[in-house]
Amino acid sequence: GQNIDQPTEMTATEGAIVQINCTYQTSGFNGLFWYQQHAGEAPTFLSYNVLDGLEEKGRFSSFLSRSKGYSYLLLKELQMKDSASYLCASMDSNYQLIWGAGTKLIIKP
Protein backbone atom coordinates (compact mmCIF):
# COMPACT_ATOMS: atom_id res chain seq x y z
CA GLY A 1 0.00 0.00 0.00
CA GLN A 2 0.93 3.64 -0.21
CA ASN A 3 1.88 5.43 2.96
CA ILE A 4 3.38 8.69 4.18
CA ASP A 5 4.65 9.01 7.76
CA GLN A 6 5.53 12.22 9.54
CA PRO A 7 5.42 13.24 13.20
CA THR A 8 2.12 14.56 14.45
CA GLU A 9 3.50 17.50 16.38
CA MET A 10 6.81 19.21 17.12
CA THR A 11 7.80 22.11 19.35
CA ALA A 12 10.73 24.46 18.79
CA THR A 13 12.02 27.79 20.08
CA GLU A 14 12.01 31.06 18.18
CA GLY A 15 15.38 31.59 16.48
CA ALA A 16 16.29 27.90 16.55
CA ILE A 17 16.43 25.24 13.84
CA VAL A 18 13.94 22.40 13.39
CA GLN A 19 13.93 19.37 11.11
CA ILE A 20 10.65 17.71 10.13
CA ASN A 21 11.06 14.19 8.79
CA CYS A 22 8.92 12.32 6.30
CA THR A 23 9.13 8.73 5.09
CA TYR A 24 7.15 7.54 2.12
CA GLN A 25 6.13 4.35 0.38
CA THR A 26 4.38 4.89 -2.94
CA SER A 27 3.79 2.95 -6.14
CA GLY A 28 6.48 4.59 -8.23
CA PHE A 29 7.92 8.00 -7.47
CA ASN A 30 7.74 11.30 -9.30
CA GLY A 31 8.76 13.75 -6.62
CA LEU A 32 8.30 14.81 -3.01
CA PHE A 33 6.48 17.98 -1.99
CA TRP A 34 6.30 20.06 1.16
CA TYR A 35 3.43 22.44 1.81
CA GLN A 36 2.79 24.83 4.69
CA GLN A 37 -0.69 25.21 6.12
CA HIS A 38 -1.63 27.80 8.73
CA ALA A 39 -4.62 26.94 10.90
CA GLY A 40 -7.89 27.37 9.03
CA GLU A 41 -6.15 28.27 5.78
CA ALA A 42 -5.24 26.51 2.56
CA PRO A 43 -1.88 24.76 2.05
CA THR A 44 0.79 26.73 0.20
CA PHE A 45 3.65 25.20 -1.77
CA LEU A 46 7.11 25.24 -0.18
CA SER A 47 9.34 22.83 -2.09
CA TYR A 48 9.63 20.04 -4.61
CA ASN A 49 12.42 17.45 -4.74
CA VAL A 50 12.76 14.83 -7.43
CA LEU A 51 16.51 14.20 -7.25
CA ASP A 52 18.55 13.21 -4.21
CA GLY A 53 20.09 15.99 -2.23
CA LEU A 54 19.37 19.28 -0.53
CA GLU A 55 17.40 22.15 -2.05
CA GLU A 56 17.80 25.45 -0.23
CA LYS A 57 15.30 28.27 -0.46
CA GLY A 58 15.99 31.05 2.03
CA ARG A 59 15.36 29.89 5.59
CA PHE A 60 13.78 26.66 4.36
CA SER A 61 15.62 23.66 2.90
CA SER A 62 14.33 20.28 1.77
CA PHE A 63 16.26 17.05 1.46
CA LEU A 64 15.48 13.86 -0.41
CA SER A 65 16.93 10.35 -0.36
CA ARG A 66 15.09 8.19 -2.87
CA SER A 67 16.88 4.99 -1.86
CA LYS A 68 15.70 5.44 1.73
CA GLY A 69 12.23 6.78 0.90
CA TYR A 70 13.03 9.71 3.14
CA SER A 71 12.78 13.47 3.10
CA TYR A 72 13.11 16.26 5.60
CA LEU A 73 12.21 19.91 5.78
CA LEU A 74 14.70 22.10 7.61
CA LEU A 75 13.58 25.43 8.97
CA LYS A 76 16.25 27.86 10.21
CA GLU A 77 16.00 31.04 12.29
CA LEU A 78 12.50 30.13 13.34
CA GLN A 79 9.96 32.92 13.56
CA MET A 80 6.60 32.90 15.32
CA LYS A 81 4.87 33.05 11.92
CA ASP A 82 6.38 29.63 11.12
CA SER A 83 3.85 28.08 13.52
CA ALA A 84 1.80 25.98 11.13
CA SER A 85 1.27 22.44 9.89
CA TYR A 86 3.75 21.11 7.37
CA LEU A 87 2.42 18.58 4.88
CA CYS A 88 4.58 16.04 3.11
CA ALA A 89 3.28 14.53 -0.14
CA SER A 90 4.74 12.01 -2.56
CA MET A 91 3.75 11.87 -6.22
CA ASP A 92 3.24 8.32 -7.43
CA SER A 93 3.71 6.74 -10.84
CA ASN A 94 0.28 8.05 -11.94
CA TYR A 95 1.31 11.59 -10.95
CA GLN A 96 -1.19 11.54 -8.08
CA LEU A 97 -0.21 13.00 -4.72
CA ILE A 98 -0.25 10.83 -1.60
CA TRP A 99 -0.45 13.09 1.45
CA GLY A 100 0.81 12.70 4.98
CA ALA A 101 -1.40 13.83 7.87
CA GLY A 102 0.86 16.81 8.51
CA THR A 103 3.19 17.89 11.30
CA LYS A 104 1.93 20.66 13.55
CA LEU A 105 4.89 22.89 14.44
CA ILE A 106 4.56 24.98 17.59
CA ILE A 107 7.03 27.82 18.02
CA LYS A 108 7.65 29.11 21.54
CA PRO A 109 9.22 32.47 22.35
Partner 1 sequence: SQTIHQWPATLVQPVGSPLSLECTVEGTSNPNLYWYRQAAGRGLQLLFYSVGIGQISSEVPQNLSASRPQDRQFILSSKKLLLSDSGFYLCAWSALSDGANVLTFGAGSRLTVL
Which residues of this chain interact with partner 1, rule CB under 8 A? 4, 8, 31, 33, 35, 40-45, 48, 50, 87, 89, 91, 95-102
Of the pair 73, 78, the CB lying nearest partner 1 is at: 73
The least CB distance from residue 79 to partner 1, in Å, is 22
End-to-end CA distance of the chain: give it in Å, rounded: 40
The least CB distance from residue 22 to partner 1, in Å, is 11
Of the pair 13, 44, the CB lying nearest partner 1 is at: 44
From residue 21, alpha-carbon distances to 18, 40, 76, 94 in Å are 10, 23, 15, 24
The least CB distance from residue 37 to partner 1, in Å, is 9
Of the pair 44, 79, the CB lying nearest partner 1 is at: 44
